Amino acid sequence: MAAVLVLTGDAFGGALTVVSIEPGRHELNVPVKSSITIDFDQPVMTSSVNVNSFRAYGRWSGAVRGPFSFSNANQSVTLTPNRPYTSGEAVMVILSHDLKAADGTPLRSAGYSYQFFTRSRPAPVTFTELDTFSNVTSGQTRIYGAAASDLNEDGWMDLTTVNEVSHDLRVFLNMADGSGLYGTVMLPPLPIGVEASPNEPGDFNNDGHADLAIAASDSSDAWFALGVGNGTYMGGTQSVSVGSTPHGVAVLDADGDGDPDVATSNTGANNISLMLNNGSGVFGSAINFDSGGGGEYALSAGDMDNDGIMDLVVGARFDQDVIVMRGNGNGTFTAIETEGAGGSVWMIACGDVNGDGNLDVTCANDGSNNGSILLGSGAGAVALTQVQPTADHVVATDLGDFDGDGDMDWVLSSFGGGEWRLFANDGSGSFSFNQAFEAPSNPSCAIIVDIDNDRDLDLVQSDEIADVIVLQQNGPASNLVRPLGDFNSDGDVDGGDSSALEACYSGDGVDAGLACGHGDFDGDGDVDCADATAFENAWTGGGTAPTISQCGPIGEVPAANEWGVLMAACALLTAATVVAPRILRKARANN
């Protein structure tokens, strides 16, 4: 069960007030089937709770849709997702100021926003290069990066490449067969601005489909591509002029109205631009303001002071500083912290790297040939704690839990050095070198995402000069011999495992916990009757697999809402007893 975070100090006068949230703010290792519950200080007006006033969005899995329910005399509101999140992603929850108490008192004008991070299952962090495929149809495109959204809403992560020279977006749909492979590029490409690079997903028009915001540095504008849910974007894209040479982009609710707004950091103009969303995915003219730094290059959004309002974290490349700008909840920001970044900042990624519940900052420092870690205090301050030397021209920093041990590991992309480097987290936010991946030519970005739906994190690498995407699958490795269902590690799925499976039964939608990972065959976070059927299919003990009492006879076809339950148990295993991805397929092959 995810932790309940009890809040203090978030009340604004007599407004309807959030008093606790589940999952908690910046909570790590949240099960992928978790509901979201908000507790208020008084009963809510149930008619004010809807998809406009209570939103959630998985960075990769997309808009969270599902029924709302009320409890505790209508003081608690729960959103139960219709489908799981994807593993190892950030989920943002946004409450609008249009939420009201039963007596008509609204939530504070700033609204309320927070993030949590979903769990990834244990894995060996030994990678298999699945494929290297080209982005090119005619002429160079220069892939600067990609977004891993579920564009056709089949539960598998697709890729949209963002291309500097061809000035367009190109979509590759996941084959959705567990292989981790992608189909050929979907044509025609979608035109966008010149020298486009940084991008962030969101659901800007609240239609439940994945959209994308992109900054284009040479044309000095931001572009918005609206998804239609079938693997494509709408034919027309909106663009808004921003300050000169934008190099960073961030998505957040800046004014409390519940819809995601977009900000860019503009190096040439030496400022930040904010574009407010009208709720329909139409953005207003840029509102420009100064961060106080020199050469605003990198940009990220997160709640650095834990007040339920998203802030901006700015990387000032010329000053080599990180600047925290507190969100005031009314579309304005105030600089509250400036700290040395350890180098000239090119990109920023935020996450809780030391597990203290506060958001931290990672930097890719290009001209300084290093990456850096700045730990957050939870009150808006950050402190430089580690500088990691790398190869030349570091252009990207990304976070994800590759080994499934509960903390975020770190990837730096070195354009000039021709490699990606992975650093392992010891749990305290201290990182050590783990391995390097040689690039075909010059890396531009890394996308940390589960491409094969086995619940561990894989690595998608974009190479700008070679114009290719490289797919690195986490596992399998030769030492992974323990199949799903083999609770006692004797190499078989047999009678010695059946009692453990029954003990791990949690029922559809109930988190099984990490210790039961070997019973969660389908990786959806619980152990239920669908997994009992999978256990029977994986049986190697001879004779007939036993009955699990909660489900009736093994082999009985589960109800529709029971499918997709067994693989959650794997998340409970330690790194020393990782399980092989796609092991069910292997177990069946042995029968």
- The strand pair at 18-22 and 5-6 is best described as antiparallel
Whether 297 and 394 map to the same domain: the answer is yes
Structure confidence at residue 531 as a pLDDT band (50, 70, 90): confident
Whether 325 and 411 map to the same domain: the answer is yes
Q: Which amino acid appears at position 435 of this protein? A: Q
Whether 490 and 370 map to the same domain: the answer is no
How many domains does the chain divide into?
3
The pLDDT of residue 501 is 75
Whether 321 and 403 map to the same domain: the answer is yes
Domain of 529? 483-540
Whether 306 and 398 map to the same domain: the answer is yes
- pLDDT greater at residue 514 or residue 372: 372
Residue 277 is classified by DSSP as B
Residue 152 domain-assigned (yes or no): no
Q: Give the span between the Cα atoms of 170 and 193, in whole angstroms.
A: 14
Asked if the model's pLDDT at residue 556 lies above 50, the reply is no
Asked if the model's pLDDT at residue 281 lies above 80, the reply is yes
Phi (first) and psi of residue 536, to 5 degrees: -65, -40
Instruction: Determine how many CB atoms are found less than 10 A away from the CB of residue 553.
Output: 12
Least confident segment among 134-143, 403-412, 450-459, 533-542: 533-542
The pLDDT of residue 233 is 96
Residue 163 domain-assigned (yes or no): no
Least confident segment among 138-152, 282-296, 507-521, 534-548: 507-521
Asked if the model's pLDDT at residue 579 lies above 90, the reply is no
Whether 432 and 311 map to the same domain: the answer is yes
Whether 400 and 509 map to the same domain: the answer is no
Whether 415 and 355 map to the same domain: the answer is yes
Q: Give the span between the Cα atoms of 487 and 502, in whole angstroms.
A: 11
Whether 352 and 406 map to the same domain: the answer is yes
Whether 432 and 504 map to the same domain: the answer is no
pLDDT tens digits for range 305-328: 999 999 999 999 999 999 999 999
Residue that terminates a domain, selected from 86, 103, 118: 118
Asked if the model's pLDDT at residue 98 lies above 50, the reply is yes
CATH number for 317: 2.130.10.10
Least confident segment among 37-51, 65-79, 563-577: 563-577
Asked if the model's pLDDT at residue 262 lies above 90, the reply is yes
User: Which tokens sit at 584?
Assistant: 């069910």
- Kind and range of the H or E run holding 499: helix 495-504
Q: Identify whether 558 is preceded by a cis peptide bond (ω within 30 of 0).
A: no
Q: Are 334 and 326 in contact (CB under 8 A)?
A: yes
Residue that terminates a domain, selected from 118, 142, 167: 118
Q: Are 495 and 545 in contact (CB under 8 A)?
A: no
Please state, for a pLDDT cut of 70, what percent of the chain lies above it: 83
Q: Give the span between the Cα atoms of 58 and 279, in whole angstroms.
A: 18
Q: Are 432 and 562 in contact (CB under 8 A)?
A: no
Instruction: Determine how many CB atoms are found less than 10 A away from the CB of residue 561.
Output: 12
Residue that terminates a domain, selected from 95, 118, 141: 118
Residue 251 domain-assigned (yes or no): no
The pLDDT of residue 545 is 66
Q: Give the span between the Cα atoms of 570 and 67, in whole angstroms.
A: 28
The pLDDT of residue 335 is 98
Average pLDDT over residues 480-492: 60
- pLDDT greater at residue 11 or residue 369: 369
Residue 459 domain-assigned (yes or no): no
Residue 581 domain-assigned (yes or no): no
Average pLDDT over residues 528-544: 72
User: What's the chain's average pLDDT?
Assistant: 87
Asked if the model's pLDDT at residue 513 lies above 90, the reply is no
Structure confidence at residue 544 as a pLDDT band (50, 70, 90): low
Asked if the model's pLDDT at residue 502 lies above 90, the reply is no
Structure confidence at residue 434 as a pLDDT band (50, 70, 90): very high
Question: Inter-axis angle of helices 495-504 and 529-537, to 10 degrees?
Answer: 170
Residue 577 domain-assigned (yes or no): no
Whether 421 and 531 map to the same domain: the answer is no
CATH number for 108: 2.60.40.1220
Alpha carbon distances (Å) from 106 to 9, 73, 102, 370: 17, 18, 9, 47
Q: Give the span between the Cα atoms of 290 and 312, in whole angstroms.
A: 12
Whether 379 and 494 map to the same domain: the answer is no
Residue 348 domain-assigned (yes or no): yes
Residue 341 CA, distance from chain mean position: 24
11: left (phi over 0), alpha (psi -120 to 50) or beta: beta
Please state, for a pLDDT cut of 90, what percent of the chain lies above it: 74
The pLDDT of residue 276 is 99
Average pLDDT over residues 459-466: 97
Asked if the model's pLDDT at residue 574 lies above 70, the reply is no
Structure confidence at residue 550 as a pLDDT band (50, 70, 90): low
Q: Give the span between the Cα atoms of 583 and 444, in whole angstroms.
A: 33
Residue 579 domain-assigned (yes or no): no
Least confident segment among 49-58, 134-143, 200-209: 134-143
The pLDDT of residue 490 is 67
